[in-house]
Amino acid sequence: MFNLNKESIKSLLVEERKGFTESIELAINLKDIDMANAKNRIDADIILPKGKGRESKIAIFATGELALRSKGAIENIITPETMDEIFSNKRKSVKYIRGIDFFLAEASMMPTIGKKLGIYLGPRNKMPRPLPPTVDPTIIVSNLKKTVRVRSKDKATFHVPIGNVTMSEEDILENIDAVIKVIVSKLEHGILNIRSVYVKKTMGKSYKVIG
């Protein structure tokens, strides 16, 4: 585990609680790296070992057997018959997409999805992950429910959700460690490209954990 400032997590968790379950996120600040160069940008899906305090919402575009196998594992199953109703206009499409963290799709449906919905899914980094029709989606879904997307774009500072205030100090530290490991692995000079890392709640002050 990285040398994280554990006192920061203690301080964060003893802050006065608000009237809702606040999320916890990291603010990661990079240095000595040209973020204008696309190859230096962070683009990763990270599985949080202790989850994120809530399960990701997942939807799947599927037909036949894959749709049947998805029942129980995935709440939102979109078939060719229901697709036009769910995405009948721009307003409904955008609202639905915002409510879903990850989309999966039977590979054969991808051309139709791209043609009809690419304009909404693409800019939000929510294009579906294609699946063969014979796959059992259970394990994939189990991992996605604990997964966070990390996109730095062209900014040297970016944010990553890592849990919420209902989680223990140990679980939050383990999630932070998992995120930093992935980020460091994608930087040209590893930890040397990280200026600092802060942790904060939805409504609260920031505490330094690295730097």
DSSP tag of 155: -
- Look at residue 18 in the predicted model and tell me its pLDDT: 80
Pick from 155, 99, 152, 103: which is nearest to 129 by CA? 103
Pick from 3, 137, 146, 148: which is nearest to 66 by CA? 137
Residue 175: HSE in the Cβ half-sphere, 13 Å Cα cutoff: 25
DSSP tag of 127: P
**Any idea what the Cα angle at residue 16 is, between residues 14 and 20, rounded to 5°?**
115
- Look at residue 1 in the predicted model and tell me its pLDDT: 62
Average pLDDT of the chain, as a whole number: 93
pLDDT lower than 50: segments of the chain: none
- Look at residue 78 in the predicted model and tell me its pLDDT: 97
- Look at residue 15 in the predicted model and tell me its pLDDT: 84
pLDDT digits (tens, 9 = 90+) for 171-184: 999 999 999 999 99
Q: Give the whole-angstrom CA distance, residue 172 versus residue 188.
A: 26
- Look at residue 67 in the predicted model and tell me its pLDDT: 93
pTM of the entire predicted model: 0.83
Instruction: Give the domains, in start order, of the chain with CATH numbers.
Output: 6-53+148-210 (3.30.190.20), 58-144 (3.40.50.790)
How many H helices and E strands in the chain? 7, 10
Q: Is 125 left (phi over 0), alpha (psi -120 to 50) or beta?
A: left
- Look at residue 186 in the predicted model and tell me its pLDDT: 94
Per the CB < 8 A criterion, the answer to whether 162 and 22 are in contact is no
Which residues have a Cβ under 8 Å from the Cβ of 71 and sit 6 or more positions away? 77
User: 21-42 burial by CB neighbour count: b if 16+ within 10 A, else e?
Assistant: ebbbbbbbebeebebeeeebbb
- Look at residue 108 in the predicted model and tell me its pLDDT: 95
Per the CB < 8 A criterion, the answer to whether 128 and 103 are in contact is yes
Q: Is 16 exposed, middle or buried (0-12, 13-18, 19+ CB in 10 A)?
A: exposed
- Look at residue 159 in the predicted model and tell me its pLDDT: 96
Which residues have a Cβ under 8 Å from the Cβ of 138 and sit 6 or more positions away? 73
Query: What phi and psi values does residue 60 have, to the nearest 5 degrees?
Result: -130, 135
